């Protein structure tokens, strides 16, 4: 078989030679030698380690015989030359161990690389629980300060209409709904045609005049207020904030992308959407109970969603992150039919809606 | 495999170029962008892959191109034929200061493993491939990565070494430890591995990096004294745009009188 011999008196880059594996004779143009049958050192050779090197020493110096062709090396492994059987058996053992070690190394590396992704996936899966857990531990004073700060930031762009019949109705219904709450509630009316209302952490509820005009009875307004109040009681906005901040942090940690890439933003938005859908349902149900407790007819709630559903096209703002009005109306109507005592005292403010 | 026998001449001292003489019908392949001049009669052609006869068919060509992509080289090789009736010359220039190393592949057993970007030119028929080192350590920590370039054939090949060239012949079992960036090429008979420096203090403060390349004989190795990355580092550090100073240039007021630094 074709091999390359290195040793004393041979070119430094090695000498191509012909090796007769059965007799051990190694011949080249201008000389020959013999593979010692007493054995020697054996190792994998070649850059890709597919070949074999047999080396030994004699009086002249150190010799090395290399077979780099993978096919020849395989033949050699199957039938080791006389006297070298032990060395070949040993090499096969270490190769097996190395292969195992290499597999372990690659798995460790893969795990290391996948760890941030696993963290991200874990955070996605448990984000509601984690955010809720943290939100429970934020003191109420902090929450109020946060709400106050965000309200002040918005105030410049809001046209407050806190005098007048409508604002008085909102305040009075609101205080009925929040009796016994730990939060100090403030209700504001803002002049804006968009049908919208929103709650800030710590007890600030803002109602657009457009929403008041869209309601047909004060009970419908009470339904909306009950819903918004429950967002505060259940700390939804705080949880949302914590989740957004946490997601950005985890995303930056996992990808090294501090600015938040498109994918991150999209994922976040998606998360906040699904979060608020769950939260809306929760607030609807809790709001319904609050109406019952306050002795206000809860029929106003599904009735208002009915109004919304009928003009869905013109009120995209309220609907964007909210479940479809029809679905909510139907769910609430279902709850309403299970209420046995349906005698409620109607709210005073008539005619409705009052002039702003 | 038909291998063209080429005569060559290397010019210059520290910034060299090699002139290859092609008989009529002969051809040489060059790394894209390395050509410096070509005489009358030489035709330049760009081919997909490396022009060696081994790869037949579209699939073979695609495979060859894929390999070149992996080693970080361009997909196309430029091939220079002599279409005239007389001998003609084509020259290839080294891309940065250093030495051009002519290697007759027959004397090293037909294969040479070299650093990814060191290839300059070769006789047509030399195939450019990639060689994977299967040792994990080499792959992760070798400055040159675990993929190196493999030149196969029995003609002349020219590779480029930065700075001064060192050729060492290693006897069987002889070990040489080298900075990972300083390896240019070696015979496949040489065992190439990466070794951790061993001492934390040296690793952090010696400035030699965390790892050595160990080259274990037998066989011949080619080393460079100045890897391009090291040179580039110093140049960037000294550049005025990066806050460098033109100290040590004999200017009295530390560069104030230097018109260049306005």
Same domain, A48 and A137: no
- B142: exposed, middle or buried (C-beta count within 10 Å: 0-12, 13-18, 19+)? buried
Same domain, A137 and A75: no
Same domain, A27 and A137: no
Number of structural domains found in chain B: 1
- A123 φ/ψ sector (left φ>0, alpha ψ -120 to 50, else beta): alpha
Same domain, A268 and A155: yes
Number of structural domains found in chain A: 2
Both structure tokens of B169: 């012949």
Q: Quick check: A67 contacting B, CB < 8 Å?
A: no
Q: What is the pLDDT of residues A144-158, one digit of tens each?
A: 888 888 888 888 888
Give the gap in angstroms from C-alpha B131 to the nearest C-alpha of chain A. Answer: 7
CB-CB under 8 Å, B169 with A14? no
Please report how many Cα atoms fall inside a 13 Å half-sphere around the Cα of residue B137, on the Cβ side.
Answer: 14
Neighbours of A302 (CB within 10 A): 23
Nearest CA in chain A to B185: A47
Q: What is the pLDDT of residues A110-131, one digit of tens each?
A: 888 888 788 778 877 787 788 7
Q: Is the pLDDT of residue A298 over 70?
A: yes
CB-CB under 8 Å, A106 with B132? no
CB-CB under 8 Å, B169 with A48? no
Same domain, A323 and A249: yes
Judging contacts by C-beta atoms under 8 Å, the chain B residues touching residue A11 are: 107
Instruction: Give the residue-averaged pLDDT of A28-42.
Output: 89
ipTM, two decimals, is 0.74
- Mean of pLDDT over chain B: 80
Same domain, A165 and A227: yes
Q: Please, are residues A300 and A253 in contact by the beta-carbon 8 Å criterion?
A: no
Q: In terms of residue numbers, what domain contains A219? A: 131-337
Name the 3-class secondary structure at B256.
coil
Same domain, A75 and A180: no
CB-CB under 8 Å, A43 with B108? no
Instruction: Considering only the beta carbons, identify the residue of B132, B189, B191 that sits closest to A14.
Output: B189
Neighbours of A84 (CB within 10 A): 22
Q: Is the pLDDT of residue B254 over 80?
A: no
Q: Please, are residues A46 and B192 in contact by the beta-carbon 8 Å criterion?
A: no
Instruction: Give the residue-averaged pLDDT of A19-24.
Output: 90
Domain boundary among A83, A108, A143: A83
Neighbours of B76 (CB within 10 A): 14
Regarding beta strands A204-208 and A186-190, do their DSSP bridges make them parallel or antiparallel, or are they unpaired?
parallel
pLDDT for position B142: 47
């Amino acid at each position: 078989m074709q091999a390359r011999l290195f040793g004393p008196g041979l070119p430094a880059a090695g000498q191509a030679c012909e090796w007769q594996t059965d007799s051990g004779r190694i011949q080249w143009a201008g000389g020959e030698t013999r593979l010692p049958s007493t054995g020697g050192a054996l190792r994998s050779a070649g850059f890709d380690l597919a070949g074999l090197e047999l080396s030994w020493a004699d009086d002249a110096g150190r010799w090395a015989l290399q077979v780099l062709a993978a096919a020849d090396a395989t033949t050699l492994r199957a039938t080791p030359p006389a006297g070298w059987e032990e060395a070949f058996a040993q090499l096969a053992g270490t190769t097996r161990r190395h292969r195992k070690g290499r597999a372990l190394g690659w798995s460790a590396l893969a795990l290391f690389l996948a760890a941030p992704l696993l963290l991200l996936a874990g955070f996605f899966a448990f984000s509601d629980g984690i955010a809720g857990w943290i939100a429970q531990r934020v003191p109420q004073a902090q929450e109020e300060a946060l709400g106050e700060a965000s309200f002040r930031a918005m105030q410049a762009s809001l046209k407050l209409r806190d005098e007048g019949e409508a604002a008085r109705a909102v305040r009075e219904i609101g205080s009925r709904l929040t009796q016994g709450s730990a939060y100090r509630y403030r209700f504001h009316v803002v002049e804006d045609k968009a049908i919208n209302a929103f709650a800030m952490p710590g007890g600030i509820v803002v109602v657009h005049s457009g929403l008041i005009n869209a309601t047909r009875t004060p009970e419908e307004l009470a339904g909306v207020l009950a819903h918004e109040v429950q967002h505060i009681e259940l700390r939804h906005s705080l949880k949302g904030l914590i989740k957004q901040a946490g997601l950005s942090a985890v995303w930056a940690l996992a990808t090294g992308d501090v600015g938040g890439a498109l994918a991150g933003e999209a994922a976040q938005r998606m998360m906040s959407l699904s979060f608020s859908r769950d939260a809306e349902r929760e607030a609807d149900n809790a709001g319904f109970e609050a109406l019952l407790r306050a002795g206000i007819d809860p029929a106003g709630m599904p009735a208002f969603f009915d109004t919304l559903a009928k003009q869905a096209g013109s009120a995209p703002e309220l609907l964007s992150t909210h479940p479809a009005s029809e679905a909510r109306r139907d769910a609430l109507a279902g709850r309403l039919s299970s209420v046995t005592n349906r005698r409620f005292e109607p709210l005073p403010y008539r005619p409705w809606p009052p002039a702003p | 495999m038909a291998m063209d026998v080429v005569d060559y001449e290397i010019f210059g001292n520290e910034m060299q170029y090699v002139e290859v003489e092609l008989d009529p019908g002969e051809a040489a392949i060059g790394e894209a962008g390395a050509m410096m001049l070509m005489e009358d009669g030489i035709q330049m052609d760009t081919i997909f892959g490396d022009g060696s006869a081994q790869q037949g068919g579209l699939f073979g060509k695609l495979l060859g191109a894929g390999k070149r992509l992996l080693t970080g080289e361009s997909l196309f090789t430029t091939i220079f034929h002599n279409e005239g009736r007389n001998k003609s010359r084509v020259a290839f220039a080294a891309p940065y200061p250093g030495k051009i190393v002519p290697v007759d592949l027959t004397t090293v057993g037909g294969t040479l493993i070299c650093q990814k970007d060191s290839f300059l030119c070769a006789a047509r028929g030399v195939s450019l491939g990639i060689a994977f080192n299967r040792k994990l350590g080499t792959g992760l920590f070798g400055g040159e990565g675990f993929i190196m370039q493999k030149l196969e054939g029995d003609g002349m090949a020219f590779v480029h070494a930065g700075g001064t060239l060192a050729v060492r012949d290693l006897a069987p079992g002889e070990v040489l430890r080298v900075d990972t960036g300083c390896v240019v090429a070696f015979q496949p008979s040489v065992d190439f591995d990466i070794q951790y420096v061993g001492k934390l203090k040296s690793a952090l403060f010696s400035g030699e990096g965390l790892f050595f390349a160990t080259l274990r004989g037998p066989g011949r190795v080619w080393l460079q004294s100045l890897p391009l990355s090291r040179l580039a580092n110093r140049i960037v550090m000294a550049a005025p745009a990066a806050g460098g100073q033109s100290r040590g240039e004999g200017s009295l007021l530390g560069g104030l009188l230097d018109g260049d630094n306005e």
